[in-house]
Amino acid sequence: MHTLNIFCSRWFTGIVMVTALIVANQAKAQTEIETAPDTLTQTVLIHPVIADDHIVSSEHTYNSDLRLGDQIARDFSIAKINKHGILRRFKGQGLTNEDWYGWRKKVLAPISGRITRVNHPDTTNRPGVMNREAQPGLVFFQRADSTVVIYAHVREIEVEEGEQVKAGEVIGRVGNNGNSRAPHIHVGAWKEETPLQIQVDLYAEHRDGQPSEKRAE
């Protein structure tokens, strides 16, 4: 009986050690995961897009027929809870751009890199009315690793092509122009010919410095 108890004890200890090793290896695999490009959606981590605490976003459904900046994209705007407890992006009926909480809020650079293209908008849309023929406000950012992030519907753009920017720098204001029905910022990204899914670094402002300074009008 004594021998059997020793055997059982050693057997149980061995099982525990093997299980712990498997769990540890699985944890390591999750933190250091390496997969082929076609097994997981590739992503890019960006700085928060708008200088405000009430940012909301929605993701586009993947569509390979669109341009790279539209295939996996996100739209960012501002929303607040009204007196009825309902989250809304505008006050009143939202009939004017000024009614929208995101209108003319500061827009922040998503990544550190070079400005490769700037397009100033030629018109401003009324909420609910899209002008597909108008020139949108565009800013293209490119990192040293060839990752490109594009902003659309920007107004009052403060950067020029060839300029170097740091993530979080003010580059313009939220607009409503081009292929847009309401004030917001469209964000798309790609590397070479691969569209990237947008992920936001929610701790970026606190890591980099003073978020309150960026939000001052």
| Residue closest to 150 by CA, chosen among 183, 125, 113 | 113
Q: How confident is the model at residue 21 (pLDDT cuts 50, 70, 90)?
A: very low
Q: What is the pLDDT of residue 31?
A: 44
Is the pLDDT reported for residue 23 higher than 70?
A: no
Is the pLDDT at 198 greater than 70? The verdict is yes
- Looking at residue 147, what DSSP letter applies? E
pLDDT at 10: 52
Percent of the chain with pLDDT over 90: 66
Mean pLDDT, residues 21-36: 45
CATH of 43-215, one of 2.60.40.10, 1.10.1450.10, 2.70.70.10, 3.40.50.1970: 2.70.70.10
pLDDT higher than 60, residue 205? yes
Residue 64 — very low, low, confident or very high, per pLDDT cuts 50/70/90? confident
Domain residue extents for the chain? 1-34, 43-215
Tell me what pLDDT residue 65 has: 77
The larger pLDDT score, comparing residue 136 to residue 27, is at 136
- The string of pLDDT tens digits covering residues 88-117 is 999 999 999 999 999 999 999 999 999 999
Q: Kindly report the pTM of this predicted structure.
A: 0.79
Q: Is the pLDDT of residue 18 over 50?
A: no
Q: Minimum mean pLDDT among 64-68, 120-124, 137-141: which range?
A: 64-68
**Inter-CA distances, 88 with 30, 41, 93, 185, Å:** 37, 31, 10, 17
As a whole number of angstroms, the distance between CA 10 and CA 172 comes to 67
CA 71 – CA 62 distance, rounded (Å) = 5
Q: Give backbone dihedrals phi and psi of 88, rounded to 5 degrees, phi first.
A: -135, 155
9-23, 81-95, 196-210: least confident range: 9-23
- To which residue do tokens 């540890």 refer? 24
Using the structure block, give the residue that is written with the tokens 């200890």. 13
Residue with tokens 């700037």: 118
Q: How far apart are CA 71 and CA 73, in angstroms?
A: 6
Tell which wins on pLDDT, 63 or 166: 166
Query: What's the rounded Cα separation, in Å, for the pair 153 and 172?
Result: 10
Confidence of residue 30 (pLDDT cuts 50, 70, 90): very low
* pLDDT tens, position by position, 140-185: 999 999 999 999 999 999 999 999 999 999 999 999 999 999 999 9
Q: Give mean pLDDT, residues 19-30.
A: 44
